[in-house]
Amino acid sequence: MNSEPLYEGKAKSVYRSEQPGELIVRFRDDITAFDGEKKDVLSGKGVFNAAVSAFFFEHLESHGIATHFVRMVDERTMIVRELAMIPLEVIVRNRAAGSIVRRYPFAEGQVFDPPVIVMDFKDDARHDPMINDDIIMALDLLNREEIDAIRKTTLEINRLLSAYFRERGITLVDFKIEFGKVGGAILLGDEISMDSMRLWDRETGESLDKDVYRFDRGDVLSAYGRVVQRIIPGYSGGRG
């Protein structure tokens, strides 16, 4: 990975691989919030997020969900299948928190049953506006069948992740995922980490995710580390 990254996100860098059809994703220690207005470097954060992402990609694969994950190469670097990313943030909400409470008259923590799926159009200059099925089709991003397939897969991912967290004393409040295409298939891409989920301790209600950073609620790394310990059996990775 001496070469220039193909793409630099806010917390991950993507590099070409020598293997055609594969990419190298490196989880950096950068953490940002509020459209990049707040930013810091937290040594070891990338390792925690890489570990949780890899763990959940494998967990989902073992339950029939197709993902881009191939394998880890070191504790913050993974090989993934190259996808043509669909510029949508697919957000699942099991409880009301964050932007949905600011924008609509929901009470913080209110349960959504069935869960609410919201999609945002990924466009930094436009601040990722919320999008609907008709606009998705008018923009030629996806057809009806693809939208329906993504919704179905997303709800299944939510069922699997929610159950896994619940058994470990954590409520999966909401999360954001992204999909991409390869050949005719739609695969889960990007990451599943404490940067992209809201997690509340079931007993104490304490946040164990990026909200700790967003709202200065305490030691972010320690919160992320506690999630890793509770989620990954026998985790023994370190801060590297």
Please pick, from the candidates 52, 89, 119, 188, the single residue that binds ligand CDP as defined by CB under 6 A. Answer: 89
Q: How far is the CB of 225 from ligand CDP (least distance, A)?
A: 18
Q: How far is CA 21 from CA 67, 79, 80, in A?
A: 14, 10, 9
| Binding to ligand CDP, residues 208-237 (CB under 6 A) | 210
- Count of all residues that appear for the chain in the document: 240
Q: Is 81 or 198 the residue whose CB approaches ligand CDP more closely?
A: 198
The verdict on 191 binding ligand CDP (CB under 6 A) reads no
Q: Is 31 or 54 the residue whose CB approaches ligand CDP more closely?
A: 31
Q: Is 117 or 137 the residue whose CB approaches ligand CDP more closely?
A: 117
Q: Is 73 or 221 the residue whose CB approaches ligand CDP more closely?
A: 221
Please pick, from the candidates 12, 26, 76, 176, the single residue that binds ligand CDP as defined by CB under 6 A. Answer: 176
Distance CA 115, CA 111 (A): 8
């026998």: which residue's tokens?
234
Q: Is 17 or 154 the residue whose CB approaches ligand CDP more closely?
A: 154
How many other C-beta atoms lie within 10 A of the C-beta of residue 122? 15
Strands 22-27 and 77-81: antiparallel
Q: How far is CA 200 from CA 97, 159, 167, 189, in A?
A: 11, 17, 13, 24
User: Two tokens at 104?
Assistant: 């609509």
Please pick, from the candidates 86, 91, 157, 172, the single residue that binds ligand CDP as defined by CB under 6 A. Answer: 91
Whose CA is closest to 6, among 104, 114, 85? 85
Q: How far is the CB of 99 from ligand CDP (least distance, A)?
A: 4
Task: Kindly list the residues in this chain that would bind ligand CDP in the complex (CB under 6 A).
Answer: 89, 91, 98-100, 174-176, 196-198, 210
